[in-house]
Structures are given as structure tokens and as C-alpha cells.
Amino acid sequence: MVYVIGGTFPMGSYDGESNEKPVHYVTLSSYYIGKTEVTQALWKAVMGSNPSYFKGDNLPVEEVNWDDCVEFITTLNQLTGEHFRLPTEAEWEFAARGGNQRKGNTYSGSSIEGDVAWYDSNSGNKTHPVAIKSLNELGIYDMSGNVWEWCQDRYGGYSSNAQANPTGPTSGSSRVNRGGSWDDGATYCRSANRNSYTPAYRSSNLGLRLAR
């Protein structure tokens, strides 16, 4: 896990998709977030099975829906006595942008997508082992590309109001996922880009990253 010192940042994008607007200021307390996406090795160690389409211990786990992730985290916490969870959408974006060390990059750690992301133009139509591409300002890997990552929040529109430690809407049928993937174009790998699926949705381009 990487320790992310809390701070205030402008969440969203002025020139991105409509669901990335309006840009609004968010203040976060400090937290921990996974240095990499959850690997198949970790998932197997906790759950005793591997649901992934692309197999490999150091590949990100995928074909996991939101409910699977909750079950995995519950079991992991029982085994370790820790309090892991999914990151909130705001925590995810703050970490992807580099936290208080952010440099305004389009992607997580660079404005050149190929430096930090496995996406449709360089992935060879598959996932890749975590932590091969360059890390971002906080020392975190693969927040752009490889697999989409589930967040804790329900999906909803942004407000222009400043917020502190937001946790998303209190109702809604879909959950947020972030980061783009191996089979998406570079625009989906931008740190501001947003996506969502119903909690039951599974795909070979969708995994998770832990927070605490």
C-alpha cells in the first residue's frame, strides 16, 4: 500500500466528457491505496480460486464484479485483521493524479499514454503483469489502463459544490469504475474519465485496487 497524504484538488475535467463536469474542489483525509491492482496471486491466496480470463499470478485479477470484490475484501479483512476496502471515486482520482505531488498530467504519471498505460494500441488485446509501466508521482502503477478498477461509490452526476471526503450518491443502481483498460482507447485512460456498471457486471477488462 502507498500512503496518500490528504489534500484538496480540483476533481473532474474542464474539457472532457460531460459526466466529468463541473470541476469541483474536493478535500480528502489521508489514506492508503494499493501500489498495484489486485493480482491473481493475491485473489487466489484469499479466495482459493481464480476467475480471470487471462491467467497469470502477476496479472491483475479480472472477471470480478462489484459484489465479488466486497466478498474478497471481507474475507481478506477476516484473515488479516485489517480494514481494507475499495477506494472512493475521489480517493481514486486524487491518487491517480499524483495527490499533492501532481504535475497536471493527462494520465496517471504522464501525459504520454504509452509511458504508463496498457491500452488498445499497445496491449496486444490482453492484460499485462502489474508494475511494468512507469509509476506515477506517488509511486503507484497502472492507474491508467490494464484493467478498469471498481470504486466504492454509486455512480451519479457531479455537483459544483466543494466537498470533503465524498462517498457518492446514497442511491443508484450502478457502481463507479475508473482507469480504462487494455481494450479501450487512450481517452478512457485519462485520470478524470468516469465509467460505471451494475454490481453484477463482469468482464476481462475489469478488476480492483485496494484502499485502507
Distance CA 109, CA 96 (A): 8
What's the confidence (pLDDT) of residue 50?
98
What's the confidence (pLDDT) of residue 158?
97
Q: Residue 136 is which amino acid?
A: N
Q: Is 186 helix (H, G, I), strand (E, B) or coil?
A: helix
Q: Return the domain boundaries, the chain.
A: 2-208
Residue ranges of the chain with per-residue pLDDT less than 70: none
What's the confidence (pLDDT) of residue 22?
98
Share of the chain above pLDDT 70, in %: 100
- Please provide the CATH number assigned to the domain covering 2-208: 3.90.1580.10
What's the confidence (pLDDT) of residue 181?
98
Q: Is 75 helix (H, G, I), strand (E, B) or coil?
A: helix
Cell numbers placing 121: 494500441
* Predicted model pTM: 0.98
- CA 34 vs. chain centroid, Å, equals 9
Cell numbers placing 101: 505531488
Q: How far is CA 30 from CA 36, 37, 94, 110, in A?
A: 18, 20, 11, 23
